[in-house]
Each structure stands twice: as C-alpha cells, then as structure tokens.
Chain A
Amino acid sequence: MKRYQIGCALFLLFFGFFICWEARKLEMGRIVKPGPGFFPFWLGVALIIVSLALAYHFLWKKTDLSLSSQELWKGLRWEKVLFSGVALLLYAFFLEGLGYMLATFFLLFFFFRAIEAQRWPVVIFGSVITSFITYALFKLWLHVQLPRGLWGL
C-alpha cells in the first residue's frame, strides 16, 4: 500500500507540474489585473506543494496505513469492473449510431448475463422491458433527449 500511496503522490506532483506548464502558455496578466493563466498556475503550485508533503509523509513518517497488510484487488472480482467499464465505453461510442433502444438492450443483456448471471427469462425480458419502459418514460413522457438510431428507435 505504501508503494501505491507514494505513486499517487508522484502522480499528483506531475499533474501539478503539468498544470503550471500549461497555465504558463495562457496569459498570466499582472497582479493588478490577473489573466486567465494566473489562478490555474498558482493552483498548480499549490498541488506541487501538497503532493510533496504527501510524498514526504509516506516516505519518511511512520504512517498508519489501514490497508497495508492486504492487497487492493486480492479476492475481488476486479475483472467484472473492467468488463463493465469497457461495455459502458462501447455503449458511449455506439449509442448514437444504434439508437437508444437497441444500444440499451445490448448493454442490459450483457450486464444481466455476463456480470451477474441471471436466468435467461430475466435476461431477455429484463433487457427488452427495461429498454422499452425507460424509452417511454424519458423520451416520450418526459421529452428527455435520447438518440434515435436504426429504424427510428
């Protein structure tokens, strides 16, 4: 865990440097009239200081790390998180092409079957009915903008 915590502090440190670097490209202005780069630059500086303090804290001080004895992903089904994340990403890319109903049907079918395996009737009816009901509720009743894809669905 200590290694991960130092890694996080270093990531924040690089992020702070990156913000300072990018903010310098914007107009900094003067103290009497600060420009668009002024606030982000000083925030970047603040992040650098805080991340250095964090790194020092984890490197040199005896810290009470509650998760130090156990690994972060041990005994967990992390692959389900990975598959769900990829499924959601694919949904984002295909949503406008396929349309809400079809894309949602495929997404729910995957979740109901592959992530937490349900019985086939639940998978099929659950996916169809949920896609239809949410479309009717949000698009037809509440007029929320949802994309129409193939066959106007």
Chain B
Amino acid sequence: MDLFQCIFYGFSVSLEPSNLFACFVGVFIGTLIGVLPGLGPVATMSILLPISFKMSATSAIIMMAGIFYGAMYGGSITSILVNIPGEAASVVTCLDGYQMARQGRAGPALGIAAFGSFIAGTVGVAGLMLLAPPLAAVALKFGPPEIFGILILAFTMVTNLASGSKLKAVAMAVVGLILGTVGLDPMVVTPRFAYGSITLMDGIGLAPLVMGLFGVSEVFLNIEKTIKQEVFKTDIKGLLPSKQDWKDSGRPIVRGGLLGFILGILPGIGAIIPTFISYSLERRFSKHPEKFGKGAIEGVAGPESANNAATAGTMVPLLTLGIPPNVVMAVLMGAFLTHGVQPGPLLMKEHPEIFWGVITSMYTGNVMLLLLNLPLIGLWVKLLKVPYGILFPLILLFCLIGVYSVAGNAWDIVVMLVFALVGYLMKKFEYEPAPLVLAFVLGRMAEESVRQSLVLSRGDLLVFFKHPISCAAILIGFLLIFSPLILSPLRKGFRRA
C-alpha cells in the first residue's frame, strides 16, 4: 500500500461509528481534565485503562490518544480565564492569554488557541504520517544492542531535561527500573521481590503506580492548601479572531507547529518544553517584544500550536520504535500492552488498523475539538466554578474505581496509596515522578535487551559499542550527562582569561 492508500485505509477505520465515538469520548474527557486543574492526562488515562478492556484495541488507543491532545486544548481555557494552567503545557499561555482576558479579549485568545491548536495539530499529524513509515522500516533492523542503546539515550535525555536536580532524576529513573523488576523474571519466570504475595507476583501494576504518583498525590497536595479559583469575570464574545489577529498569529502558528512536532519526537521533551521555546522564539521574532506579557496574541498562538503539534511528535518513537518518549506515552504503551499489542516497528505490518486508525483519528479528533470547543466554552467556564471540595472526592473515587477494576483486587488500592504517599513526599522533597514512571515502563525492555545482547555476544560487554547505532546512542547519552561537568570549568576558564 502506498501512503495515500494507507491514509484512506486509516480513515475507513477511524470513521467507523465505534471508533468515532471513542475519539469523541477521548477528546471530550481530555478537554474536561485539561480545563480542571489538578488532574492531568496521565492519571486520567490510567483511570480509563481498565474500562478500555471492554473496547477493541483500536478504539481504546484512539480514546487514550484523544485524552492527551484534548487536554492540550482544555488547558488553554483555564490559563486564559483563571491564570492557572489546567495543564503543564499551558503554563506559558497564562502570560499573555490572561492579560488578553483582562483587556476584554478573552474571546480572540480562546479562539486563536483553538484554531492554532487545530492547524498545528494537523501539521503534526501530517508529519507523523510521513515520518512514521520510513522510521519503522529502519527500526525493523534493530537488534537487542540497538534497542538498549536507544533506551540509554531516552533515559539520559529524560533525566537531563528534568526541571530540578539531574542527580535526583537519575535516582528516580534507577528506582523506576528496580520497581519494574518486581514480579516474574521475563526470561526464566522466577519470582523476584514478591515475598509470597500474589499481587506482587504479577508485578507492580502501571495503573496503581501512575494513579498514586500523579492522581492521588496531587489531590493530597491540593487539599492541604486552600485553593481559591477565581474565574475572570468578562463577557466571552467574538471568538473568531479578527483579520489583524490572524495576521499577527499566522507565522507563530506555523513556527509553533513545526517546532512542537520536531521537538516532540525527541525523548524527554514532551509537550511542555516546546511551548517555552516557541514563546521565546516569538518574542525574538516580534517587532514589538515589549508587548509580550501584556496581552500579545502571538504569545498565545505560538505556544498553543507548539503543544498540540508536540502530541503528534511524541507518537513517532512509540509507534515506530516501541519506545515511549515521555510519561504520557508510557501510559499509552501500557494501554497497547494490556490489549496484547506490542507497539514498535512491526505494528504497521501486524496491526495496520491500529497504526493508521490511530494516526488518522488524531486528525478527526482535532476537527472535533475545534467544533466542540468554540460552542462549549460557556460550559467549561461553568465547570471551572465547581469548588475543589466537591471535585476532589470525585477525582479520588475515579482513581479508586480505576485501580480496583483492573484485577478486582483491593490490594491494588493499597499499592496505589503507597505510591500516593511516595509521590506526595517526592514532590515535597523536589523529586520528579516522570523519570520513575518512564523507567518503570521501559525496565522490562531494558533488562531483556541487556540479557539477550550478552547471551548473543557470549558475554561480550563491549557488544553495545560494536554496533554503530547503539554506540552512537550511548555516546550521545554520555555526552549529555557529562557535558555540564566538562563545559562549566571551560566556561570558568574563559571568563578568567
């Protein structure tokens, strides 16, 4: 099948009523949780993971992906109207979006965020369609040493791009890998660290771990402080941006879209970093940089486009290499695996309906979001006024239902609570949970690739350096880790000179 045939085939799958409905549910829930601060796409996808068992694999993945990019749309609404980012990727939108709302231009801000997201989302999906097939073909030639090399690169990038201490991020990645070894050994089926517990024999579940670290711990952090949500009182009218708005936003949308997609592909970057880069880029390109932070529409258009295009970019390594580049994709990988589907280079051959169905559904989903969001903005604003005292028991209840329903085992709730406590303390002591979750998901693959490489090379520890791809990936990883150690004394030396 050539590319066009594949795209038509993908649309024939994604436009099936059940998949269309799954896509609608995904983007609707995604927007909802994007609007509500405190519950991100990671926790929501984990909550819905058990419910997705009842669906076909294609519908389930379409729904999960919809939650991710839907959350990007929803996050902008809260940023613009409340000055609280509903989603981490919408932090930058607060700067100019809220200022626009204060100046009575909430409508155009919300409008350009929605249109920009749609256009950039489309750019991202087009990039995904073009890039995924050739990359998957290359990845088919990868053996265990190459996979291990790329995993090392992914880990180093994720830890290197962590917002806090890099050492802490490395420690969390190692803890994640250790937690991934709990349960049956993948090669000789020996129980490890289970201590006779049937719950642990199956390994630590992804859902209790993620919901504990991201969902419940976030609620704990919120209920101990008083949250005052004040929705900015303004008439939201004129959602369609004016000619001048379009003129100002056109280039930022295109730049943000391209930037978001390209950066989204790289491990560890996700949808947040491109928004910051896009904002500073637009400021630099602008003829009026002094307007930034005071309600410049380019400051909304660029970052909002970047975060939506990045969602498509992050799908590239997962669908083609089977390696999730960030924690959201790690949960999506969990959804693939629970449906017995291995994402990676063989996905396109073995499950073309999932591969092309999911990709084309992202386009359908972007259209839905545009049609949904503009008329429904009033509803989202009303939702923002629901007090947290009513919201948090519901969030906790959904976490409980999600965790229990995976295996009908109440001990999974206890496991979730343990990780909720760990997550709560981690955030207090400034340890990031994202490297832990990513390493946890990739742990099994990393262990298998190491052990298989050693068996195949008859115990040659240099095997990883004898294959060009793994060698290059490991060297880049090491450079990333040690570059600050080498560069900072050099910089100091130059300054002294």
Contact = CB atoms under 8 A, between A and B. Distances in A.
Contacts of B140: none
Given A111-B396, A146-B401, A40 B171 contact: no
| Chain B interface category by residue count | 35 or more
A143 B54 contact: yes
B175 A12 contact: yes
Interface string B385-426: 001111011101100110011001011011001001100100
A95 B390 contact: no
A26 to B, nearest CB: 6
Contact of A50 (B171, B185, B396): B171
B160 to A, nearest CB: 14
Given A40-B181, A116-B389, A142-B51, A76 B170 contact: no
Given A31-B454, A47-B175, A80-B223, A26 B192 contact: yes
B431 interface: yes
Interface string B161-174: 00001011011001
B410 A93 contact: yes
B193 A22 contact: yes
B171 A12 contact: yes
B458 interface: yes
Given A32-B455, A130-B397, A77 B223 contact: yes
Contacts of B397: 104, 107-108, 130, 134
A147 B167 contact: no
A39 B167 contact: no
A116 B430 contact: no
A47 B174 contact: yes
Interface in A96-132: 96, 104, 107-108, 111-112, 115-118, 122, 126, 130
Given A40-B181, A147-B408, A122 B414 contact: no
Contact of B178 (A44, A81, A95): A44
Given A47-B174, A85-B421, A26 B190 contact: yes
Contacts of B387: 116
B101 to A, nearest CB: 28
A30 interface: yes
| Interface residues of chain A: helix, strand, loop or mixed (majority) | helix
Contacts of B167: 50, 53-54, 57
Given A40-B193, A43-B178, A138-B405, A8 B390 contact: no
A34 B348 CA distance: 33
A46 B400 CA distance: 34
Contacts, number: 162
A106 to B, nearest CB: 12
Contacts of A116: 223, 387-390, 392
Contacts of B181: 39-40, 43
Interface residues of A, number: 67
B276 to A, nearest CB: 19
Contacts of A140: none
B225 interface: yes
B349 interface: no
Contacts of B23: none
A36 B181 CA distance: 9
Nearest to B169: A50
B428 interface: yes
A116 B387 CA distance: 10
A95 B410 contact: yes
Contact of B389 (A50, A51, A96, A118): A118
A12 B429 CA distance: 13
A141 B116 CA distance: 37
B136 to A, nearest CB: 28
A15 interface: yes
A30 B451 CA distance: 11
Interface string A28-63: 001111111111100110110011011001000000
A92 B168 contact: no
Contacts of B389: 112, 115-118
B429 A4 contact: yes
B430 A95 contact: no
A8 to B, nearest CB: 5
A77 to B, nearest CB: 5
Nearest to B226: A77
Contact of B190 (A27, A104, A134): A27
Nearest to A78: B224
B447 interface: yes
A4 B431 CA distance: 12
Contacts of A115: 223, 389, 392-393
Contacts of B188: 27, 35-36
B420 A85 contact: yes
A56 to B, nearest CB: 10
28 contacts: A12-B171, A26-B190, A30-B459, A33-B454, A34-B455, A36-B188, A43-B177, A43-B181, A50-B167, A54-B168, A57-B165, A66-B430, A77-B223, A77-B224, A81-B223, A85-B420, A89-B417, A91-B413, A92-B414, A107-B397, A111-B396, A112-B389, A112-B393, A116-B388, A116-B390, A130-B393, A130-B397, A147-B408
